[in-house]
Each structure stands twice: as C-alpha cells, then as structure tokens.
C-alpha cells in the first residue's frame, strides 16, 4: 500500500537561501547567509521553547522575534523597515529546482501528497502558490491548527487524522533531523532530504529513506511502491 507523502516546507521544498539578499540589505553584512542561518536557528529555538513550555505563538510572530534578537546580537534594534523587508521576503521564497519535477512524478504515480508545516496554513498556501507548487498538493496542513509545533506528536497525529490514515501510513519528508525524529516518535514513517548542510544524527532515529533531493526521493518511492 502506498504511503501518504507529507512534506515539510521550509528548507525541504523551499530554498531559504533566497532570503540572503534581504539579510544583506538589513544588516550590511559581508556574509548574509550566515546571518540568515543564525536567524532561522533562532526561530527553531523559539518554536521549540514555545512548544515545551506550552505557550504557543504564531510562526510569523516568531520570525519577527528572531529578527529582533539577531539585530540585538549585532548591537542594534530591528526597525519597522527591517521587519517589513523580512515579511515581504518571507512571502517570496522559491522552490528548489527539483521540487516541482519530483512532486509531479509522485502525483503521476498515484501518491497522495500533502504538506505539514509549522508556518500558518494561510502563509503556506500563499508560499506554495507563488512557488508554483500548490496544484501538486492534495492538502496543505499546518501545526498552527493544533497549536503544537513539530516535532510535538500532536502535529503529526493531526496530519494523520486530517488525511484519514493511520500514522504508520504517513511518510514524513523533511530536511531536518528533528522533524524526522518527531515523526518517527509519533508512529509515522520518514524520509530525509539531504539539503546542503543538513545531516541526520547518527546516534538518533533513522529514516527508512534518504535522498539527494525530491526527484531522487520520487524515483525511490516509485520503484518501491509502483
């Protein structure tokens, strides 16, 4: 039986390096990619903390909080213009070149394809539309609906319930070891996308599949499930 394929979005399908130019303009830094990575790591810390302590705040608010913290690390405050620039850039993140052909291959092979993101559903819909990917998804799901960010088990359970399948019938696809670990702990299956700089913890839970990109994953899944 084919699993339902559930994709993470940020850094898995969408290329966050597109934000580098915005961070370069905001901070005038010679290595904006390093600032962008530090910002996203801060976003991760904020949503993990929000989940652990039980004080949920929407993802778009956390992205702005992280910008404010990054600015303070640089010895300044984030201005209203800085915040508007980041908000605008976050709405225009492109897909990786392999995302669309890989998704098309999965759809042609009869797989049900969905997303599960920590972004809000509204933001996810908008991002997928502008990236040209929305028609390839059967459902767009967000952890915002249960106010528990991935890797909390409630997020994955929500996805399985909405897709009307058991957790073991869900194959979560992500470029983050923490997302893979969360999915496996919730009883789902998992596949890892080897985006630049992303690795699995060799001592942690391991996915059943690992792929160079979405096209490679699609070929593996079609070969395995027909």
CATH classification at residue 42:
1.10.150.240
Q: Are residues 22 and 108 in the same domain?
A: no
Q: DSSP 3-state assignment of 191?
A: strand
Residue 174 phi, psi (nearest 5): -155, 160
Tens digits of residue pLDDT in 120-139: 999 999 999 999 999 999 99
Task: For residues 96 and 12, give the distance between their C-alpha atoms in angstroms, rounded to a whole number.
Answer: 8
Task: For residues 95 and 14, give the distance between their C-alpha atoms in angstroms, rounded to a whole number.
Answer: 4
Element (H, E) at 171: strand 170-174
Domain of 57? 16-90
Q: Please state the domain count of the chain.
A: 2
Task: For residues 49 and 71, give the distance between their C-alpha atoms in angstroms, rounded to a whole number.
Answer: 20
Domain-ending residue, one of 90, 121, 150: 90
* pLDDT of residue 57 exceeding 80: yes
| Beta sheet of 4-7, edge-to-edge order | 139-142, 113-117, 4-7, 170-174, 189-193, 209-211
C-alpha torsion angle, residues 81, 84, 90, 92 (rounded to 10) = -100
C-alpha atoms less than 13 angstroms from C-alpha of 114 in its C-beta half-sphere? 24
Residue 208 phi, psi (nearest 5): -80, -20
* pLDDT of residue 1 exceeding 90: no
Q: Are residues 144 and 97 in the same domain?
A: yes
Q: Are residues 54 and 140 in the same domain?
A: no
| Catalytic residue (one of 8, 15, 20, 144) | 8
Q: Are residues 99 and 50 in the same domain?
A: no
Tell me the pLDDT of the chain averaged across its residues.
97
* pLDDT of residue 51 exceeding 80: yes
* pLDDT of residue 90 exceeding 90: yes
- Whether the link from the prior residue into 224 is cis, omega within 30° of 0, is no
Tens digits of residue pLDDT in 98-114: 999 999 999 999 999 99
Burial 165-175 (b: 16+ CB within 10 A, else e): bebebbbbbbb
Q: Are residues 133 and 31 in the same domain?
A: no
Report the CATH number that the domain containing residue 114 is assigned in CATH: 3.40.50.1000
**Among 104, 87, 94, which residue's Cα sits nearest to residue 130?**
94
Task: Reply yes or no on whether 8 is catalytic.
Answer: yes
Task: For residues 42 and 223, give the distance between their C-alpha atoms in angstroms, rounded to a whole number.
Answer: 38
Contact 85/22 with Cβ under 8 angstroms?
yes
Element (H, E) at 140: strand 139-142
To the question of pTM greater than 0.85 for the whole model, the response is yes
The confidence score (pLDDT) of residue 82 equals 98
* pLDDT of residue 226 exceeding 80: no
Percent of the chain surpassing pLDDT 70: 100
Q: DSSP 3-state assignment of 60?
A: helix
Task: For residues 39 and 117, give the distance between their C-alpha atoms in angstroms, rounded to a whole number.
Answer: 18
Q: Are residues 86 and 97 in the same domain?
A: no
Q: Are residues 214 and 112 in the same domain?
A: yes
The confidence score (pLDDT) of residue 156 equals 99
């Amino acid at each position: 039986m084919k699993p339902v394929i559930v994709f993470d979005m940020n850094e898995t399908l969408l290329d966050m390096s597109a934000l580098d130019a915005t961070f370069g303009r905001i901070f005038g830094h010679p290595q904006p990619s390093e600032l962008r990575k530090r910002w996203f790591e801060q976003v991760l810390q904020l949503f993990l903390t929000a989940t652990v302590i039980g004080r949920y705040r929407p993802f778009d608010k956390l992205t702005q909080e992280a910008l404010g913290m990054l600015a303070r690390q640089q010895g300044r405050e984030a201005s209203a213009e800085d915040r508007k620039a980041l908000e605008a850039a976050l709405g225009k993140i492109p897909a990786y070149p392999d995302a669309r052909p890989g998704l098309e291959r999965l759809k042609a092979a009869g797989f049900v394809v969905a997303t599960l993101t920590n972004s809000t559903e509204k933001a996810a819909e908008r991002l997928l539309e502008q990236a040209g990917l929305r028609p390839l998804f059967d459902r767009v799901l967000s952890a915002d609906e249960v106010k528990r960010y991935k890797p909390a088990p409630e997020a994955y359970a929500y996805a399985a319930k909405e897709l009307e399948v058991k957790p073991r019938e869900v194959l979560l696809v992500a470029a983050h070891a923490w997302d893979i670990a969360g999915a496996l702990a919730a009883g789902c299956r998992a596949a890892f996308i080897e985006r630049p700089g992303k690795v699995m913890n060799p001592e942690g839970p391991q996915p059943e599949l690992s792929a160079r990109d979405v096209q490679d994953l699609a070929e593996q899944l079609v070969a395995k499930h027909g």
